[in-house]
Chains A and B, each alone.
Chain A
Amino acid sequence: MDIISIRNVSKKFRLYHEKNFNIKYAALNFITRKKTSYYDKFWALKNINLNITKGETIGIIGENGSGKSTLLKIIAGILYPDDGEISKKGKIAALIEVGAGFHYELSGRENIYINASILGFSKKEIDANLEKIIAFSGLKQFIDNPIKTYSSGMYLRLGFSIAIHVNPDILLVDEVLAVGDENFQKKCLQKIDRFRNQGKTIVLVSHDLSTIEKMCDRVVLLDNGMMLSDGNPIDVISQYHKILYEKEKRISIPEQGEPSKEETPQADEIRRWGSKEVEINRIEFLNEKDTPQDTVKTGDFIKVRIHYFAKKRIKNPVFGVAFYREDGIHLNGPNTKTSDYHIASIEGKGFIDYIIHSLPFQPGIYFITVAIVDFLCLFDYDHWHRCFTLNIIENEKIKEKNGVVHISAEWRHHGQG
């Protein structure tokens, strides 16, 4: 069942030439019967089609100005589309900006009532949830102080706490989680997670791609008001990285010739990007004797060998790897710079080994990212995002099965008897 259905939605903004468009202009326009426009049109969204099913968690990503927030505001009912239709079922709570509608002279408690009433809730509903809202915000001892004495983190806590306790069917969240401290962020994410489990629908807009990847079932990528893709988080986020990279390159290397073949994205290359001045040809998983392994066991020695070819001399390259669990959890992400392993330059063919003396991961399928970047870690030469898989199987010598990692450690007892 579609809880939100967006059909061919377009949104156009007017950018006025004069800062204060006033009656004078309107009258002049009317009298002279000239259709001179005092504004430029700007399409913030073009032909968006999106169906969201009940219980889905959807992420919307894209650069600043790509139309993410506009789309969210249209879903919320704050903006109206110029074209197309949108239908939605159920109660919506939107967290677009924390503290919108707060009154700084009034106390936290009074603001709970006012804020929840803005979201359309009755006094009775608020009374029933007041204690829970205060408890979740963790502001019990400040709740009767005027909120002008609060910090921005405290606003967030109060605002989020209200929005999530008014029990909406659809929760819209725009970037606001970025404000809170880590602890509260975690609490919010847990709450959102519980929300998901209750079969509620969530739409998240964020620049924090790792949160999006963790939370969302589906991700929508917007670029210049158009929907570029709609699919599983890993693929869409990789595509986004790729676009960002391409744009970066166009800025940093303005004199570009004809686009070479490599630049046209291929289906299997969707998770790979970079300038390819150095290319990673292949990677190998090797044991102590340098024999390639298909599968490895927990606790094994393993070498990840990255074969590269540098077309020209590259100074101060940084090599990196990252391990991901099957469910997307980012397990580690070391690189030669963080490990203080400095490579002065590379040219031509070569390889680098990442040596793990005792593989700590419990059995399962793992995804691996490898990359070569510049010394500032801003510019990708070649980035293979989760392109490789490693199958780890059970090690009969290790009996520990709980949890996700096996740490090479030992027990020592000191005591009487």
Chain B
Amino acid sequence: MISKLKEIYRFKYLAYNLVSRDLKVKYKGSILGFFWSLLNPLVMLIVYTLAFKYIIRIRVENFPIFFLCAFLPWSFLSSSLSMSVGSIKDNANLVKKVYFSREVLPLSIVLSNLIQFLLTFIILIPALLFFKIKLGIPLAAVPLIILFQTAFTIGLAYIVSSLNVFFSDVKHLLEILLQVWFWLTPIIYPANFVPERYQFLYRLNPAVLFVESYRDSLLYNKMPSISSFIALFIIGFVVLTIGHLVFTLYNKRFAEEI
């Protein structure tokens, strides 16, 4: 495991290149540049606010903020996964002809999405101030939650990208699963809307805990409980470990199956 990490670390400059290329390609040549990546959550914000606050009339205080605190981390997760699922297969030429730590491929996608996620705080923080949300010490929990979510995301990215090499349906399946997962996560509604008798089942979805922890510390000025932290830590690193094992196992046959 340690030597593997060292080997991945050897290719840090490759990861850096892939991330910066990804960001450059994304924003180069467009007038709005980086603001495109802010525009998407903004449009979503407007659409969902209109739909849920004014049409469906969901009764949630500060709906736009309530939505953003969950939607931004969710976008980090879902776009990381939908972009990394093809990362090995799309680089067939490299995988077949050059030796390098292939972990770098999904890893760099997650990292570039992480950077974009962090940049969206540029709109989140002013929005919090605009809605006069009380901010306090619980904000300090946010970096930790982000860390655990990143571990969780990397683990899943490892799994989907390596499975996709062997089964091309994984990509399509993932699209559907992400849709389902979106609605099963309290992004546009609070978790307590779910009937009491389904709560246990509902909370098996790890994203619920992530989203609630973000909301607690950003919106409700409430420190997540120690048990939530421990749970998030375990979820993040167990998934990362499983992902790593799956990836290492399948990695051996990448070059011939791709």
Contacts and interface: CB of A to CB of B under 8 A. Distances in A.
Given A76-B99, A101-B98, A118 B169 contact: no
A11 to B, nearest CB: 9
Interface stretch (B11-19, B131-139, B203-211): B11-19
B170 A23 contact: yes
Interface residues of A, number: 31
> Taking each of B96, B98, B253, B257, which has the highest tally of chain A beta carbons within 10 Å of its own beta carbon?
B98
Contacts of A120: 10-11, 14, 100
A100 B98 contact: yes
B166 interface: yes
B256 interface: yes
Given A22-B169, A76-B99, A92-B99, A117 B94 contact: no
Given A20-B168, A23-B169, A120-B10, A13 B256 contact: yes
B12 to A, nearest CB: 8
Contacts of A117: 11, 13-14, 16-17
A114 interface: yes
> Taking each of B13, B17, B168, which has the highest tally of chain A beta carbons within 10 Å of its own beta carbon?
B13
A320 B244 CA distance: 62
Interface in B150-189: 166-170, 173
Contacts of B173: 23
Interface stretch (A77-85, A186-194, A202-210, A234-242): A77-85
A78 B96 contact: yes
The main secondary structure of chain B at its interface with chain A is helix
Contacts of A114: 14, 17, 21
> Taking each of A76, A78, A96, which has the highest tally of chain B beta carbons within 10 Å of its own beta carbon?
A78
A101 B13 CA distance: 14
Contact of B100 (A23, A97, A118): A118
A201 B256 CA distance: 26
Interface in A77-108: 77-80, 92, 94, 96-97, 100-101, 103
B177 to A, nearest CB: 13
Nearest to A13: B256
Nearest to A20: B168
B255 interface: yes
A388 interface: no
B252 interface: yes
Interface string A154-182: 00000000000000000000000000000
Interface in B227-258: 251-253, 255-257
B97 A77 contact: no
A121 B13 CA distance: 7
Contacts of A22: 167-169
Nearest to A120: B10
A122 interface: yes
Contacts of B93: 97, 100-101
Contact of A94 (B10, B98, B167): B98
Contact of B98 (A26, A79, A118, A126): A118
B97 A119 contact: no
Interface of A: 13-14, 20-24, 26, 73, 76-80, 92, 94, 96-97, 100-101, 103, 113-114, 117-123, 126
Given A113-B17, A114-B21, A122-B13, 5 more contacts: A13-B256, A21-B166, A26-B167, A100-B93, A101-B94
Interface of B: 10-14, 16-17, 21, 93-100, 166-170, 173, 251-253, 255-257
What 3 A-B pairs are tightest by C-beta distance, nearest first? A100-B97, A80-B252, A117-B14
